[in-house]
Structure formats: structure tokens, C-alpha cells
Homo-oligomer: A and B are copies of this chain.
Amino acid sequence: MSHSPPARRWDTRRSDKRDRLARAAHYADGKVIPTTDIVPLLESLLVPGDRVVLEGNNQKQADFLSRALAAVDSSKVHDLHMIIPSVGRSEHLDLFERGIARKFDFSFAGTQSLRISQLLADGALEIGAIHTYIELYARLYVDLTPNVVLIAGYQADREGNLYTGSSTEDTPALVEAAAFRDGIVIAQVNEIVDDPRDLKRVDVPGSWIDLVVQSDRPFFMEPLFTRDPRLIKPIHVLMAMMAIRGVYERHQVQSLNHGIGFNTAAIELILPTYAESLGLKGKICRNWTLNPHPTMIPAIESGWVESVHSFGSELGMERYVAARPDVFFTGQDGSMRSNRAFCQLAGQYAVDLFIGSTLQIDGDGHSSTVTRGRLAGFGGAPNMGHNPGGRRHATPAWLDTIEPGDMLARGRKLVVQLVETFQGGGKPTFVETLDAVQVARDSGMPLAPIMIYGDDVTHVLTEEGIAYLYKATSLEQRREMLAAVAGVTPIGMRHDPARTAKLRADGLVALPEDLGVDRKLATRSLLAARSMADLVDWSGGLYDPPARFRSW
């Protein structure tokens, strides 16, 4: 063997970090940056072209840091590559408009999705990719390791030990990628305590955090998972009854994840009434992976729920969660601990069922929430709504989709699409072609942004009935089953009543009658809570709804 190793430095990241922190030391007292110095500090610390992770989560937003970053001098800091899990603040996009940032990787955009499309069309931003949450975290450890990570917490001490509050969310997954590869982590906190013993608990060790700054006001939180029971309609109750009889009871679903929506809220609210009357308590729906939905309170109080592990938290649920530690994950201080990375793992690999909604489904069962002119992303839905091929443990529900005896078969995660055949405004949910296809063409994406692919969906449940898609033996049959529950949409109009009768007889499609669901019972009186005030009452006054949900 002969080789002469070239003279190479192997600690360029470390020495770069040292240089940057030396520049930052001009502003900082130890690890603490004065609130008013954040803009010049960022200008001195950041370098054009840096890869910067900004904590914009589903709920918690590092908004003080994002506002500060949007205020830097773009002649000093420009062409940043921004990585933001959930784009929820207008200043996130000001960064691109002002030339501070150029490239963009994200997971979910919500209200900012229209503006992303416009900035893309204007050439003001370049999209790396639109990821799910966990694939975005994953890339931080592979080919998108950040130079700087900007995060939010509730409290820190002067050594950087961080208490995140209930919304730990994405923080640990984002911080670790920088802390262990010589990146720089800056945390905004609502409060800096001098004595470490005044810290409620430690969610991230101080040695992982380089700089802390007290924000000018508490970090922004979005109550995304609160659904007012007043807005639940009888049709939602009917669909919830079908879900309980035709899916949960039939497949003996023990562990599950609910999306957000009035349909799933209706299921949560009829567990203590309808499902209880069927004798199902303790037999189904015991272990949950979801945020602390206020509409879960009656089921929890009625003893339906053994455990809830959460992606994030929910505004107003803090005292309730803290008072129910047998059910929720909480820390030694008594407050909630969430963790999106682990809850995404749990929702993929440890649950029997995911049930959620969408805006459009095509004839093959592909679905998407992307609509014209909006690059929204899907957050965690594609992970929750697929059948993870790497799973190896069996549960009764998982095995229930296959014929016994075939030793080389695989069970399936139940993935249920719960949709009304028409959206508000008379738009059909079932469409010939998803808007996502045109959006992809318009934006130069190689593939259409599909949220959940048809072959991953095991059940489609509409107000018409349930299509047991996992039983389809061909694509043609899957299409027929879908058409049979698609009502008077263009896809539904394809269905042949004689074929539907046959599908019902063969157990491939079920109408409420076939499931023993009595349509007459499908009224709001079946809901265990019919208003926000009812939820507060169920909680014994522990739940504090955000102001906008208070109408009494």
C-alpha cells in the first residue's frame, strides 16, 4: 500500500464556529444576548449562503428571531438557505422578498402557501424540496446539516439549559443536528432565570445551546387543534357512527391517530355516548397519538383513554393536561412534554389506524389538500397516512386486512379517509384530476404533491357509506368501490346501482344500514359536548379556551 495523505484540516466547522462565537461575544454576556442587540448580533454571526434552521412549528414559533432575521441588512446577510418545518409567519417570506434568503426547504405552509407560489413565480425564491416533518429532520443529519439553528423556548438559565414548555415539538430534533456538528444554536425564551433551580425543568441541556436571548414578547402559539363542537353537524355525527361501527369496532382498533377536523372531533365526542352504548369502552381506542384536542376531554373523563402521546401541545389545555398525568406525557415539573419526532415514529409504527380528511380525492383514491396557486405542503400527513413497510409486529387490527394462512403476507396499517362528498361551496371532493397535478406542472415539480396515495388508503368513508378499499383485488374494483360512495360527484355518477348492490352483498362497500347504524340517532344530541362551555364543564374548569373560542 502506498499513500501520502494530503495535508487537510478536519475541523473547519469547529474553527468556523469558534470564530463566529468570538464575533458574537462582542454582544453577549456569557451566553446571554441583550434583547436589543439581536439584529447586530445576527449580522455579525451569519455568513452569506448559510444554511439556517428557523423553528416554525405547527404551534410554537420562534417569532422574535424570525422578525430579527427579517430586519438584518441584506447587504451583509444574504442568500441564506432557510429550513423551516412550518411556515406560519409573514416575516418568513419577507426574508425572500428582501433578498436575505434565497433557497427554501419546508414542510407545511398553511396561510403563507399562496405567497410562496407567488414568490416562486417571481423568481424570488428557489425551493429545495417540500418535505414531511420527519424527512426534513432526517436530512438535517445527512445533507442539510445547518450552520445556525434558531429556536424558541419558555425559559432558559444563563448556561443555556432550556425549558420548552408544553410545546417541545420539533426543538430536540432541530437542535441536535447543529449541537453535534459544530453548528450554532440560538434560543429565544420568554424568560431568563439567574438561578438554574428556578428553571421548571430541562428539555434541552445547556451545553447544546450557544446563545440565549429574551424575546420582546412571549413566543407565538397557534391553537390549531381546537374544534368548536357547536359547528359539528348531524352529517358529521352520522359519519362518526359509521367509523365506530364499520372501522373501529370491526377491526378492533386499539391504538390510533386522529387528524384535525369536525368529522374526527365528532368521533371523539360520541365515544362516551354512542360507542359506550355499544359496550365498546375498554375494547377500542385506548392508546392515542395526537395533540391534546379539547374534544378528547369527555372521552378522557369517561375513562376511555389510557394514554395520549403528542406531537405538540394545544393552547388552553395546559392546566387540564397537567392534572391528568396518568393519561398525558408530563415532566417532573408536572407540565406537558410533547415531541414531534417521537410522536411521528409512534404514529407510523405503533398505531393501528390513522383517520383524517382531505380536500380532493381522485377516482384511484389519491388525495391531496393542495389547491391551485398554493404550495402548502403536508406536514406529517403523508407519514401518518401510509402503510409503513418497515413494520414487523402484528396486532389484531393489522392482521385483519389479510387472509389468514399466507405466511408471506403482510398486515396493514388502517388508513381511513373521512370526507363528505362535497366541500363547502358545492365543490366536489371526488374529482377526475387532482388540482395537485396542475400545481406541480405550474411550479416545475417533478411529481404531483399527493398527500396520501390510493394504494395506501384502506377505507374511504363518506356520508354515503364505507368503501373497504383494502379488499379490492384490482385497480378497476377499487375504482368501482370508490364511485359507490362518491355520491353525486363526477366520480360518483360513474357508479352502476346494480354493481353497488353486488359490492354491498360481497362486503366491499357498506351503507349505514349494512353496519347497523341507525340514521335517526345521527343528531347533535349524541355529542357528549355541544359547545366550548360544555368542554370546559367536562374538564372541571381546567380547560381555558383561547379568547376567540369564548362566546359565553
Interface on A for B, CB 8 Å cutoff?
1, 3, 5-6, 8-14, 128-132, 134-135, 137-139, 141-143, 145, 161, 173, 176, 179-182, 201-208, 254-255, 272, 286-287, 289, 298, 301-303, 306-307, 309, 323-327, 329-332, 337, 339, 341-343, 345-346, 348-351, 364, 366, 378, 382-394, 399, 404, 407-411, 437, 440-441, 446-450, 453, 456, 528-530, 534, 537-538, 540
Contact = CB atoms under 8 A, between A and B. Distances in A.
Contact of A145 (B307, B324, B366, B388): B307
Contact of A447 (B341, B378, B411): B411
B437 A131 contact: no
B137 A342 contact: yes
Which secondary structure dominates chain A's binding surface? loop
Given A131-B392, A207-B201, A325-B10, A351 B447 contact: no
B447 A135 contact: no
A456 to B, nearest CB: 6
B407 A182 contact: no
Contact of A388 (B254, B385, B389): B389
Contacts of A383: 390
A538 B5 CA distance: 8
Nearest to A306: B143
Residue picked from A161, A205, A382, A530, most chain B C-beta under 10 Å:
A205
B326 A130 contact: no
B207 A205 contact: no
Given A9-B326, A134-B390, A141-B342, 9 more contacts: A3-B528, A5-B540, A13-B325, A141-B329, A202-B207, A205-B205, A388-B388, A389-B453, A407-B437
A390 B142 contact: no
A46 to B, nearest CB: 20
A393 B129 contact: yes
A449 B361 CA distance: 35
A330 B448 contact: no
